[in-house]
Amino acid sequence: MTGLEFNDRVGAIPVYPAASTYAFDGDLVKLASNETPFAPHPKVLEAVEAQLKTLNRYPDPAKSTLRSRLSDRTGVAPGRIAIGNGSCELLLAGAEAMLDPGAEVVYAWPSFSIYPHLAPLSGAREVRVALAEGDVHDLDAMATEITVATQLVLVCNPNNPTSTHIPASEIGAFCERVPTHVTVILDEAYVEFQTDDDPDAGADLLAAFPNLVVLRTFSKVHGLAGLRCGYALCSARLRAAIDAVRQPFSVNSIAQAAAAEAILHSDDVTKRVEQTIVERVHVESGVEELGLASPPSQANFSWVDLSERDEAEVVRKLGEAGVIVRPGDGLGGPGHIRVTYGTRAENERFLEALEAAL
């Protein structure tokens, strides 16, 4: 034993659930982290390579090129765009900047695994609101949990891990009910994959609600999870507060260059989304044929209800077949698995391994 001491908050912060790996003799099928199976666009790889020669320099602290392209793409002024080392950094820094000890954070559960980190980081109190029928956010129940102590509300749409989606019109109606001292973060990590609503409908609400923040990432549809880059469309005050609590050069120069190039290729994004939707239909019907239910997905993954089967055993058997999925237990939904859509060949291997595991 050493005499090291840590503050009380550290013990309260949960461990982020990571995918397990298995000894498997062959190509692993990685369907556990909602990554895209497609490599980054060739022009993005060129931009990365060009950037390598300037690695002796610090990255641009203002992230000017990426910021102005995001502004062109979204119509939001550059001063109201915060860029982070992954959107997770913006959640963590945002919470640090906004939450006081004793404040309340309201979010749905099950939802994204980083949300349970936010309250203990700052000594705030969290209020988890169970999803409604159909694994969707219960916005009515969330609105009734808001008190004078509430500082932050998180809405994940489409929701990770359940893949469900609520229309922007309902989110707008919810924002009407939220007092202006409360920040609402609308986490749109999977927004490109939603087909029930215009992907920009959430961001369109920004004009009406100054306390709304729209959070997006380059990790999913753009295929840049390994570089870490995300952004928030928010108030200039929140952007400044996020900058105040984090280190100055947190978004590295390669991530900035890659994201600035990726944003120019919306045709490629459309193609990726179309391919993902074809795989979504394939996996959803394959799962249904095996007699299992999953809520209709608006994302690049399915949330499969294993009904009475032993989740750990199914996950283990899939792992032994080289197919890595995420157990629902660590995500707040025991008795489920979350499976990301891969290539057609990967999805076939998943469906075959699942059939064998049942």
Using CB under 6 A, list all residues that contact ligand PLP.
34, 86-88, 112, 156, 160, 187, 189, 217, 219-220, 225, 230
Q: Which is nearer to ligand PLP, 34 or 294 (CB)?
A: 34
Minimum distance from residue 111 beta carbon to ligand PLP (Å): 7
Minimum distance from residue 8 beta carbon to ligand PLP (Å): 26
Q: Which residue has 């359940």 as its token pair?
A: 162
Q: Are strands 81-84 and 183-187 parallel, antiparallel or unpaired?
A: unpaired
CB 61 within 8 A of CB 85: no
Q: Which residue has 């291997």 as its token pair?
A: 349
Minimum distance from residue 291 beta carbon to ligand PLP (Å): 28
Beta bridge partners of 303: 338
Q: Which is nearer to ligand PLP, 97 or 108 (CB)?
A: 108
Q: Which is nearer to ligand PLP, 108 or 357 (CB)?
A: 108
Q: What's the rounded Cα separation, in Å, for the pair 299 and 280?
A: 8
Q: What's the rounded Cα separation, in Å, for the pair 208 and 168?
A: 13
Q: Which is nearer to ligand PLP, 185 or 353 (CB)?
A: 185
- Please identify the residue of the shown chain whose CB is closest to the bound ligand PLP: 86
Q: Which is nearer to ligand PLP, 219 or 294 (CB)?
A: 219
Task: Determine the 3-state secondary structure of 277 from DSSP.
Answer: helix
DSSP labels, 82-109: EEESSHHHHHHHHHHHHPPTT-EEEEEE
Q: Which is nearer to ligand PLP, 221 or 357 (CB)?
A: 221
Minimum distance from residue 332 beta carbon to ligand PLP (Å): 13
Minimum distance from residue 220 beta carbon to ligand PLP (Å): 6
List of residues 6+ apart from 121 with CB closer than 8 A:
9, 13, 92, 95, 96, 99
Minimum distance from residue 61 beta carbon to ligand PLP (Å): 20
